[in-house]
Amino acid sequence: MTNFGVLNSSNFSEINQIVEVVRNNVNQEIHIKLLREIDPADAPSGEEEGHTYKGKVYKLISTSIIPRKWEGEGVLG
């Protein structure tokens, strides 16, 4: 994961920060960016180039979640 809401590699230090981002964003969208390892032959070309790290190729994926209260504990079911 490269971004989780306001968190990124430069300001992330512990897992409890993710818990706080989720708690502070109930019913609000949290943007997430992550890297997924892909086969180099499947690497995208053009604007969506693959990202290489330690000899492996990754695709950047952007998504989001919206934490909501539900019948169980927490806000992510």
* 34-60 pLDDT, tens digit each: 999 988 777 666 555 678 888 888 988
Amino acid at 45: S
* 15-26 pLDDT, tens digit each: 999 999 999 999
Give the pLDDT band of residue 8 (cuts 50, 70, 90).
Answer: very high
Residue 19, φ and ψ in degrees, nearest 5: -60, -45
- With contact defined as beta carbons under 8 Å apart, do 59 and 50 qualify? yes
Which pTM does this prediction carry?
0.79
The b/e string for 31-68 (b: 16+ C-beta within 10 A; e otherwise) is ebeebeeeeeeeeeeeeeebeeeeeebbbeeeeebebe
Torsion of CA 10, 67, 73, 18, to 10 degrees: 0
